[in-house]
Amino acid sequence: MISTGYGICVVISVLLTLIMALRSYDHIDSYDWSVSLLLPFLIIGYWLKAQVSSAEAQLVLFGFIQLTTALLLAIMLFSLLSSCGLRVRLWIKAAVYGVVALLLLPIWYRAAFGGAAGAGETLASRMEHTFNILQYYACLLAAVIFIAALVVLILSRRRGISRRPAVGFLAFSGLWLILFFVEKRLGTDFSALPFLYVVMQLVFFLTYDQVRSHDISALITDSQKSHAARAYVAVGLNGRFLSANEKSFDFFPELRTMKADAPFPEDSEIGIRFGRMIDRFVENGILTGFFSSGERTLAYRISDFAVRKGGAPRGYLIDIRDATEEKRNLELLTDYNSRLNREVAEKTRNIEAIQEKLILSMADMVENRDGNTGGHVRRTSDVVGILVRRILQDHLFPLDEALARDIIRTAPMHDLGKVSIDSGILNKPARLTPEEFAVMKTHSTISGQMVKILLEGVEEESLVRTAYRLARHHHERWDGKGYPDGLVGEMIPLEARIMAVADVYDALVSKRVYKEPMSFEQAARIMCEGMGTQFDPNMRIVFLCCRKDLEQYYSAIQ
């Protein structure tokens, strides 16, 4: 019956160890892994001892059990100290393990060379005596674990040490000591310790993820560990404090008094700060940010963490570093860039003002030669501005702010080519002959060429392109009967279609040497009749929306 129970314990222990190995943990503590491997061998030792009948075999297995138990308890002691942030020096570990070797040395010597130290002393008796010493050595280790776990529980508030590992070690060592002394007292042939080991391994397996969440060294990557100047704070999904590294206490001294798994105090500034970070991360996916702590500026990066690959998130890891100098340099750079941008903007405005004066001066020069169109350039430029602003306001065309600005800036240049037209043709008060009109039509082509010569290499490519299209194509017609290229419909650039409306409307309502101005009503009728033949039909709604503004403009300047 006992043998069957031990066998079941062996199966459970081996399965738990295999599952642990298959769970793909990013980091498994060497002590935890050693315990997971030793427990199945230790339980197998109990199972084999229950199977054999010879005294010699039982003695060997008894020695194996005591040796493995001593090693197991020594490793568990080191694991307990590690969970408190205490790293045991190598020579101390060597001393603890060396005691086992020293106890077994007489057995190894007699097994190799034979003989006995005293009369009547056999190797078997010497082995049994040594193994009994090992058993009491294991008992001493269990007692040390019990006392150490009790001390850790008392001091668990210090530096946010989690109580869970200490409670587990205290319970295990206490039960181990009780079973040891009860079995010693009763002199039983079997031991209940294997069942205790299986229960301990099962609890260890079920709580491992949660326990690892309280070990900051298990949560940060190797690359993060190399950043000694950074603070790392782990916070649970429920907003409770889990663990932190030593550097975090320099940034936030109040973390030293925090208890693992405890909520941050309601009036705690750092608790409120961490809560806001987590809320921004969960709700908006914001990973990084800055905040002030005293005279320092700290930068943070937040992410969720799992203790094994593919595992469910256990909480949030906050990576914090001192960015005071970085922030100061950034502010200086930002201030410098702002001043530089202001200077560039001011110089740009000056250059644009000079360019606009140059354009208007050239337009004035054209108008001084053209007695028929005095003030035409300025008026059509103002009309273009009225049309463009209405298009933007009511979203009547796919026109963006940049193109609208370029159209308004380049409108005064649409007739620059007239400087090349003979004055006799330009200022003729009568109707032009077909030959003279053919010469006059060349002004749009020349206008396009002139704006490219004036602007290329000085202005942005987009503005040069707009000026060229507007100047060359503002006499094109929607029905294809315009000049110089006979473009049809939407082949005509939008800027030229807008300019065409402004150009013709100004010609209708303005006085020329060969005609009087038309009334606004008559001009509006002619403009509307031309929509779909001379003008883009979609410009009809634009013109009608602007009609009142246009009439007020011309009434004011007459």
Q: Are 110 and 118 a contacting pair, CB within 8 Å?
A: no
CA nearest to 506, candidates 379, 395, 406, 345 = 379
Judged against a pLDDT cut of 50, whether residue 284 lies above it is answered with yes
Same domain, 376 and 289: no
pLDDT value at position 255? 84
CA nearest to 169, candidates 366, 32, 285, 278 = 32
**Distance (Å, whole) CA 493 – CA 154:** 84
**Distance (Å, whole) CA 530 – CA 501:** 10
Q: What is the CATH number of the domain that holds 178?
A: 1.20.1070
pLDDT band at 374 (very low <50, low <70, confident <90, very high): low
**Distance (Å, whole) CA 309 – CA 63:** 40
CA nearest to 371, candidates 514, 544, 220, 164 = 514
* CB-facing half-sphere around the CA of 233: CA atoms within 13 A: 33
- Give the DSSP per-residue string, 416-465: GGGGGS-HHHHT-SSPPPHHHHHHHHHHHHHHHHHHHHHHTTTS-HHHHH
Judged against a pLDDT cut of 60, whether residue 115 lies above it is answered with no
Query: Quick one: how many helices (H) and strands (E) in the chain?
Result: 20, 5
pLDDT value at position 35? 86
Extract the tokens encoding 108.
């190894």
Q: What is the pLDDT of residues 398-414, one digit of tens each?
A: 888 999 999 998 888 88
Q: What is the arithmetic mean of pLDDT over 114-138?
A: 64
Farthest CA pair distance, the chain? 150
Q: Which amino acid is at 204?
A: F
Same domain, 338 and 317: no
pLDDT value at position 334? 79
Same domain, 223 and 205: no
Judged against a pLDDT cut of 70, whether residue 385 lies above it is answered with yes
Q: What is the arithmetic mean of pLDDT over 372-401?
A: 85
pLDDT band at 222 (very low <50, low <70, confident <90, very high): low
Domain annotation covers residue 390 = yes
Q: What percent of the chain has pLDDT over 90?
A: 19
pLDDT value at position 469? 94
Q: What is the arithmetic mean of pLDDT over 293-319?
A: 84
Q: Please return the burial class of 474, using the count of CB atoms within 10 Å of its CB with bins 0-12, 13-18 and 19+.
A: buried
The one-character DSSP state at 158 is G
The verdict on whether omega for the bond into residue 484 sits within 30 degrees of 0, i.e. cis, is yes
**Distance (Å, whole) CA 278 – CA 285:** 9
**Distance (Å, whole) CA 385 – CA 474:** 16
Gyration radius of the chain's alpha carbons = 46
- The CA distances from residue 364 to 162, 370, 376, in Å, are 86, 10, 10
* The domain boundary residue, chosen from 212, 230, 251: 212
Phi, psi of 480 (to 5 degrees): 90, 5
Average pLDDT value for the chain: 82
* The domain boundary residue, chosen from 185, 212, 239: 212
- The CA distances from residue 156 to 83, 164, 258, in Å, are 11, 10, 10
pLDDT value at position 526? 93
Same domain, 201 and 236: no
The answer to which of 127-136, 257-266, 510-519 has the lowest mean pLDDT is 127-136
Q: What is the CATH number of the domain that holds 289?
A: 3.30.450.20
Same domain, 314 and 340: no
| Three-class SS of 127-151 | HHHHHHHHHHHHHHHHHHHHHHHHH
Extract the tokens encoding 313.
């998130």
Judged against a pLDDT cut of 90, whether residue 236 lies above it is answered with no
pLDDT value at position 117? 47
pLDDT value at position 397? 87
pLDDT band at 92 (very low <50, low <70, confident <90, very high): confident
Residue 488: CB atoms within 10 Å: 14
**Distance (Å, whole) CA 96 – CA 98:** 5
| Three-class SS of 40-89 | HHHHHHHHHHHHCCCHHHHHHHHHHHHHHHHHHHHHHHHHHHHHCCCCCC
Q: What is the pLDDT of residues 15-54, one digit of tens each?
A: 988 888 887 776 677 888 888 888 899 899 889 888 888 8
Same domain, 237 and 294: yes
Domain annotation covers residue 329 = no
Same domain, 185 and 225: no
Packed helices 539-557 and 494-509: angle between N→C axes, nearest 10 degrees: 40
Q: Are 4 and 51 a contacting pair, CB within 8 Å?
A: no
In 3-state terms, what secondary structure has residue 491? helix
Q: What is the arithmetic mean of pLDDT over 458-470?
A: 86
Considering its fold, how many domains does the chain have in total?
3
CA nearest to 83, candidates 173, 4, 25, 165 = 165
Q: Where are the alpha helices (DSSP H) in 260-375?
A: 269-284, 324-369
Domain annotation covers residue 298 = yes
Q: What is the CATH number of the domain that holds 466?
A: 1.10.3210.10
Q: What percent of the chain has pLDDT over 70?
A: 85
Same domain, 412 and 339: yes
Which has more pLDDT, 242 or 103?
A: 242
pLDDT band at 471 (very low <50, low <70, confident <90, very high): very high
**Distance (Å, whole) CA 243 – CA 412:** 71
pLDDT value at position 259? 78
Q: Which amino acid is at 405?
A: R
Judged against a pLDDT cut of 50, whether residue 351 lies above it is answered with yes
CA nearest to 47, candidates 26, 68, 32 = 68
Q: Are 410 and 464 a contacting pair, CB within 8 Å?
A: no
pLDDT band at 119 (very low <50, low <70, confident <90, very high): very low
pLDDT value at position 110? 53
**Distance (Å, whole) CA 426 – CA 54:** 131
Domain annotation covers residue 148 = yes
Judged against a pLDDT cut of 70, whether residue 366 lies above it is answered with no
Same domain, 358 and 453: yes
CA nearest to 505, candidates 547, 444, 448 = 547
Q: What is the pLDDT of residues 503-549, one digit of tens each?
A: 999 989 988 766 788 999 999 999 999 999 999 999 999 999 999 99
Domain annotation covers residue 328 = no
pLDDT value at position 114? 53
Q: Are 38 and 71 a contacting pair, CB within 8 Å?
A: yes
pLDDT band at 500 (very low <50, low <70, confident <90, very high): very high
Same domain, 401 and 528: yes
Same domain, 203 and 225: no
Domain annotation covers residue 149 = yes
Select the highest-mean-pLDDT range: 113-127, 147-161, 502-516, 517-531: 517-531
Same domain, 390 and 515: yes
**Distance (Å, whole) CA 125 – CA 419:** 127
Select the highest-mean-pLDDT range: 162-171, 274-283, 374-383, 420-429: 274-283
Range of the domain at 83: 2-212
Phi, psi of 431 (to 5 degrees): -65, 140
Q: Are 323 and 243 a contacting pair, CB within 8 Å?
A: no
* The domain boundary residue, chosen from 197, 212, 227: 212
The one-character DSSP state at 397 is S
Domain annotation covers residue 327 = no
Whole-angstrom distance between the N-terminal and C-terminal Cα of the chain? 120
